[in-house]
Amino acid sequence: MAANPTKVLLDVDTGVDDALALLFAVAHPAIDLVGVSCVAGNAALPQVIQNTLRVLDAAGCPAVPVAGGAHRPLLNPSRDASHVHGADGLGGIVLPETSRETYRIDGAAVGAIEMMRRVLMVSDGPVTIVALAPQTNLALLLRAHPEVAEKIERVLFMGGSASVGNATAVAEFNVWHDPEAAAIVLDSGVPTFMYGLDVFNRVAVPLQKAVELQSSGRAAERLAGELISHRMGVGAGREPVYTGLIGDAGALCALVDPGALRTALLPVYVELAGSTRGQTVVDRRVFPGEDSMHGLRGTAGLTEVALEVDADRYVDLFLGTIATLA
């Protein structure tokens, strides 16, 4: 492990690309994984928990608290992403059954919100929360236990976009799935870093490399190859496409190698109504507009937003890190 690895609480909805992120988090020496909280998103919560436990096994992860949190968003109904991740959340990739258990105290199961609270409050240093899913667990945590805020170094989240959406024309899935939760986190006063679609969509492993990974002598690399090769459905009657995206794993690359990004500290708020519900409105204007002049501008906290990425650098970082797993 690196001299001063960053303590990371990972919030996931595993998820093909959350699985890639879990492999990376276990493998990278600059990350000290102190807990994994699960939330409904790409799949229903019980499936997300199972997927997460099995991927941690595949990564050879030492014992770490894993707990299930919110079964559904604060207000929205649950709407999974099975057209992207398959009905099982892992694109049909079958992993061995696991004997790894979710977090327990004195034999009793403890949910994600309480697990996160405990991990944060007993930590001897600040913890970074890396949120790779709808932010329901984080919002509940911050509302129920505001005292944890001072233990959180920052929330680095995969979500949102300063340009195009994916769940809708303007909204990214994680924020769209639970817009109120994302708004609570952005308004919490905890420093936030947005790794959104502007960079997420750019970091892709070439197809040939993904094929090579699938015949690697190392099991974790083979799994990474299968996950990356998973083809995404693009609509009725159309062939699924290879994207090669490392997806959520890119947010962890941002944590350990921020120099590959161009970022800006910008006002960001979540649109909560109408057809643009779930959009992250990123104010990139250089000069004040009429809204400021006429006192119409709402309040929006400042968020560090990743705008551009050296994609090749993150692909190399990802592949080099996964190669260290057995």
Where do contacts with Ca ion occur on this chain (CB under 5 A)? 13, 15, 18, 132-133, 248
Closest-CA residue to 261 (of 172, 117, 162, 144): 162
Residue whose CB is less far from ligand BDR, 84 or 186: 84
The region of 14-22, 70-78, 136-144, 316-324 touching ligand BDR under the rule CB under 6 A is 14-22
Site string for ligand BDR, 193-232 (x = CB under 6 A): ----------------------------------------
Closest-CA residue to 133 (of 52, 18, 36): 18
* Rounded (10°) CA dihedral 201, 205, 210, 212: 180
Which residues neighbour 26 within 8 Å (Cβ) at sequence distance 6 or greater?
33, 56, 59, 60, 61, 325
280 sits near ligand BDR (criterion: CB under 6 A) = no
Distance, in Å, from the CA atom of 203 to the CA atom of 313, rounded to the nearest integer, reads 9
Torsion over CA: 31, 37, 42, 47 (sign): positive
Scanning residues 240 to 259, which ones bind ligand BDR (CB under 6 A)?
247-248
C-beta separation of 269 from 280 below 8 A: yes
B/e letters for 20-51, b = 16+ CB within 10 Å, e = fewer, are bbbbbbbbbebbbbbbbbbbbbbbbbebbbbb
Distance, in Å, from the CA atom of 116 to the CA atom of 20, rounded to the nearest integer, reads 22
Tokens of 230: 């998973």
How many CB atoms are located within 10 Å of the residue 216 CB?
15
Residue whose CB is less far from Ca ion, 15 or 267: 15
The region of 13-21, 66-74, 287-295, 296-304 touching ligand BDR under the rule CB under 6 A is 13-21
Distance, in Å, from the CA atom of 55 to the CA atom of 20, rounded to the nearest integer, reads 9
Scanning residues 64 to 103, which ones bind ligand BDR (CB under 6 A)?
81, 84
Shortest separation between residue 289's beta carbon and Ca ion, angstroms: 34
Shortest separation between residue 268's beta carbon and ligand BDR, angstroms: 16
Shortest separation between residue 169's beta carbon and ligand BDR, angstroms: 14
Shortest separation between residue 20's beta carbon and Ca ion, angstroms: 10
Site string for ligand BDR, 159-198 (x = CB under 6 A): -------x-----xxx------------------------
Shortest separation between residue 290's beta carbon and ligand BDR, angstroms: 32
Residue with tokens 């062939």: 239
Scanning residues 121 to 150, which ones bind ligand BDR (CB under 6 A)?
132-133
Residue whose CB is less far from ligand BDR, 17 or 32: 17
Residue numbers at the binding site for ligand BDR (CB under 6 A): 15, 17-18, 42, 81, 84, 132-133, 158, 166, 172-174, 247-248
